[in-house]
């Protein structure tokens, strides 16, 4: 028990310690400084830019950035559709898996394009080596790169000068992929492969001794490479259906810690990168402080609840010394599962190493809250964008409180920016609450389609529905499970939530940052509200608490909170 806690503490500190220099590296990449990878990638990039006729040096306005972003995302979606619906006859299909049906392919393609990775298929039987690499893994890189590039545009816009020119989207995007995601994933994949995660293209299934003395067939493939970017790009969609609970996707404690590290490293480093990029380290520390405080405040109850175990099972005479082990992997344990579950929901990663449905109600509540806030580190690039909206709101209220027209880093925040910020802030509760209300209404009215949805009645069943919409709206992709979600209602409704909650929260902050960048810079004075102070951090934290967290209190009260108090 003690060892587990010390491990978690040490793990968190080590991740922060490594995120700091990595953040400096990311800032240098976006600032266009030379890196040691340039000799490898520069000629390649030049070749492809020339081939596609893209001028990666041309400065773009925020509107152009978003146009490029949406266009290339649309192209990737079509490409993924093509591969998934034709994977049956395409090469590298040693297991002979069939092509996806258009409906499933549509859902899968959308889900991977938006960096969510909600999966209604099992990788072992539903995808081929080719589609795993060229459709899914490809999208895991580029969707992560999209979020990071959008983040870089906002970085650029936050520099204190008056401009419409905010860098080049292609350059930010390609650099995100080749200079940040690729080297990190490459190193991680080597370690994973060394620990026993498969990495093969030929050969097909392997045989392994089964639990009852028989032999079982085990799917293999380019797993190590896939898992690395799945974790590092806050994608979360597993190579195998069972995600990181699968012994070949996450075989040892070391791979577990490495994969958990990969979940957090870029979202954390991105915050430090902002500090290095703007040369405003205190601002980065403020943001990091607020995010860490929120993260740890959610982690603590989850850890306590899981490690204390299930009192009802305890009363039945089953030892709970190892904590609540229902739905957990024996080789990982309750504490590390709680840590992973909070990491994966905080960052919109969505990979799992345990069954979230089987967590104690309090643990489930923390996972839900994590995704409802969706900006405690958050997804790569986009987590910062979500947080940026809260900074805008805090700037407005805080600015008024010190008797000045609100300004963020010398730019006045006015009606137009507030309109966009409120719209983005509204979207999340809207999608989650309205979606869940629709589902709850159908379940409560005994609609025939809803009859088979829920595995559990009552509050837990409610949590399952709430979790599904929250996961989709947070672009998280993890499932509470226990919900029969592979049917038209859930596919369509969560699909809509996926698209809306991916692109609006990217376009909104970029638009605000672009509008602010075009304004004249107001020089700071003693009367200017500093956005890098601890007090401002406290204000941001309170605003997140009241807008993002409390709006969900009635819903949480009927789900995990009711369950917790009835337990």
Partner 1 sequence: MFRNPVLFTVELGAAVMLGVCLAILAGDRSQGSLGYNFVIFLWLLLTLLFANFAEALAEARGKAQAASLRKTREETPAKRLLEDGSVQPCSSNDLRQNDRFLCEAGDLIPADGEIVEGIATIDESAITGESAPVIREAGGDKSSVTGGTKVLSDRIVVRMTTQPGESFLDKMIALVEGASRQKTPNEIALNILLAGFTLVFLIVCITLPSFSRYAGAEITIAALISLFVCLIPTTIGGLLSAIGIAGMDRALRANVIAKSGKAVETAGDLDTLLLDKTGTITIGNRKATRFYPAQHIPEPDFIAVAALSSLADDTPEGKSIIELALKHTTPGREGVPVRVPLPRQAPAELPFPFSEGLRKQPGLHFIPFTAETRSSGLDLPGGSNIRKGAYDTLKAAAEHAGHTVPAEISAATSAIAANGGTPLVVALNKHILGVIELQDIIKPGIRERFERLRKMGVKTVMVTGDNPLTAQYIAQKAGVDDYIAEAKPEDKLEYIRREQEQGKLVAMMGDGTNDAPALAQADVGVAMNSGTAAAKEAGNMVDLDNDPTKLIEVVEIGKQLLMTRGTLTTFSIANDVAKYFAIVPALFSASIPALDALNVMRLDNPESAILSAVIFNALLIPLLIPLALRGVTYRPIGASALLRRNLLVYGLGGMLAPFAGIKIIDLLVSMLV
Q: Binding residues for partner 1, per CB under 8 A? A: 393, 396-405, 410, 413-415, 418-419, 422-423, 425-426, 429-430, 433-434, 436-438, 440-441, 443-445, 458-459, 462, 520-530, 533, 535-536, 538-539, 542, 546-547, 550-551, 553-555, 557-558, 561-562, 565-566
Radius of gyration of the chain (CA): 23
- With 0-12 / 13-18 / 19 or more C-beta atoms within 10 angstroms meaning exposed / middle / buried, residue 410 is middle
Considering the complex, what minimum distance in angstroms separates the CB of residue 562 from partner 1? Answer: 5
Q: How many CB atoms lie within 10 A of CB 453?
A: 21
Q: In angstroms, what is the minimal distance from the CB of 247 to partner 1?
A: 38
Q: Please give the C-alpha separations between residue 359 and each of 36, 305, 458, in angstroms, as whole numbers.
A: 44, 8, 16
- Beta pairing partners, 215: 209
DSSP 95-146: T-PPPPPHHHHHHHHHHHHTT----SS-HHHH--HHHIIIIIIHHHHHHHHH
Q: Which helix (H) or strand (E) covers residue 170, if one does?
A: helix 169-175
Minimum CB separation of residue 551 from partner 1 in Å reads: 5
| Spatial distance between the Cα atoms of 94 and 324, rounded to a whole number of angstroms | 40
CB of 563 to partner 1, least distance (A): 8
The DSSP symbol for 202 reads S
Shortest distance in whole angstroms from residue 514 CB to partner 1: 18
Q: At its nearest, how many Å lie between partner 1 and the CB of residue 374?
A: 15
Whole-angstrom distance, CA of residue 502 vs CA of residue 382? 9
Burial class (CB in 10 A: 0-12, 13-18, 19+), 246: buried
Give the whole-angstrom CA distance, residue 361 versus residue 376: 21
Q: What is the DSSP letter of 520?
A: P
Quote helix, strand, coil % in the chain, to nearest 5.
65, 5, 30
Kindly state the smallest distance separating residue 396's Cβ from partner 1, in Å: 6
Nearer to partner 1, 233 or 560 (CB): 560
CA–CA separation, 235 and 230 (whole Å): 5
CB of 240 to partner 1, least distance (A): 34
Phi, psi dihedral angles at 207 (to 5 degrees): -105, 140
Q: How far apart are CA 300 and CA 283, in angstroms?
A: 26
The residue (of 130 and 536) whose beta carbon lies closer to partner 1 is: 536
Asked if residues 491 and 469 have their Cβ atoms less than 8 Å apart, the reply is no
Identify which of residues 200 and 533 has a Cβ nearer to partner 1 in the complex: 533
What phi, psi does 508 have (nearest 5°)? -55, -60
């Amino acid at each position: 028990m003690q060892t587990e806690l010390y491990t978690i503490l040490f793990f968190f500190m080590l991740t922060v310690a490594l995120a700091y220099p990595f953040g400096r590296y990311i800032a240098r990449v976006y600032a266009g400084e030379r890196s040691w990878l340039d000799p490898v990638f520069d000629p390649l990039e030049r070749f492809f830019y020339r081939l596609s006729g893209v001028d990666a040096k041309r400065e773009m306005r925020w509107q152009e950035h978003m146009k490029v972003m949406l266009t290339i995302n649309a192209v990737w979606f079509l490409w993924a559709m093509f591969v998934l619906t034709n994977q049956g006859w395409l090469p590298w299909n040693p297991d002979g898996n069939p092509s996806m049906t258009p409906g499933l392919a549509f859902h899968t393609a959308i889900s991977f394009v938006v960096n969510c990775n909600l999966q209604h298929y099992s990788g072992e039987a539903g995808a081929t080596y080719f589609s795993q690499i060229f459709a899914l893994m490809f999208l895991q890189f580029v969707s992560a790169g999209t979020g990071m590039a959008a983040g870089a545009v906002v970085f650029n816009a936050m520099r204190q000068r008056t401009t419409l020119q905010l860098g080049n989207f292609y350059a930010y995007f390609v650099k995100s992929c080749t200079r940040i995601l690729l080297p990190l994933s490459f190193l991680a994949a080597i370690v994973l492969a060394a620990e026993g995660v498969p990495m093969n293209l030929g050969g097909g299934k392997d045989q392994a001794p089964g639990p009852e003395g028989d032999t079982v067939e085990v799917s293999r493939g380019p797993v190590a490479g896939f898992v690395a970017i799945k974790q590092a790009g806050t994608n979360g969609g597993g190579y195998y259906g069972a995600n990181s609970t699968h012994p070949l996707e996450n075989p040892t404690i070391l791979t577990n810690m490495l994969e958990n590290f990969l979940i957090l490293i870029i979202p954390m480093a991105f915050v430090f990168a902002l500090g290095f990029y703007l040369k405003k380290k205190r601002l980065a520390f403020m943001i990091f402080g607020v995010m860490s405080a929120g993260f740890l405040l959610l982690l603590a109850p989850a850890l306590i609840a899981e490690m204390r175990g299930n009192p009802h099972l305890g009363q039945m005479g089953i030892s709970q010394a190892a904590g609540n082990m229902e739905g957990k992997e024996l080789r990982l344990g309750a504490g590390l599962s709680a840590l992973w579950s909070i990491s994966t929901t905080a960052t919109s990663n969505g990979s799992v190493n345990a069954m979230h449905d089987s967590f104690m109600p309090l643990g489930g509540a923390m996972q839900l809250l994590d995704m409802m806030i969706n900006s405690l580190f958050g997804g790569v690039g986009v987590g910062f964008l979500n947080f940026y909206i809260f900074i805008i709101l805090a700037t407005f209220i805080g600015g008024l409180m010190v008797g000045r027209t609100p300004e963020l880093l010398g730019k006045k925040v006015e009606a137009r920016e507030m309109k966009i910020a409120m719209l983005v802030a509204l979207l999340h509760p809207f999608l989650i609450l309205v979606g869940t209300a629709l589902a709850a209404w159908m379940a409560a009215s005994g609609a025939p389609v809803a009859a088979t949805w829920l595995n559990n009645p009552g509050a837990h069943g409610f949590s399952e529905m709430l979790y599904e919409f929250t996961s989709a709206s947070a672009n998280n992709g993890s499932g509470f499970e226990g919900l029969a979600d592979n049917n038209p209602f859930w596919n369509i409704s969560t699909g809509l939530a996926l698209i809306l909650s991916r692109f609006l929260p990217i376009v909104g902050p970029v638009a605000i940052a672009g509008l602010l960048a075009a304004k004249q810079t107001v020089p700071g004075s003693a009367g200017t509200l500093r956005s890098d102070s601890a007090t401002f951090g406290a204000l941001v934290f309170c605003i997140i608490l009241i807008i993002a967290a409390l709006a969900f209190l009635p819903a949480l009260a009927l789900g995990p909170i009711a369950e917790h108090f009835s337990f």
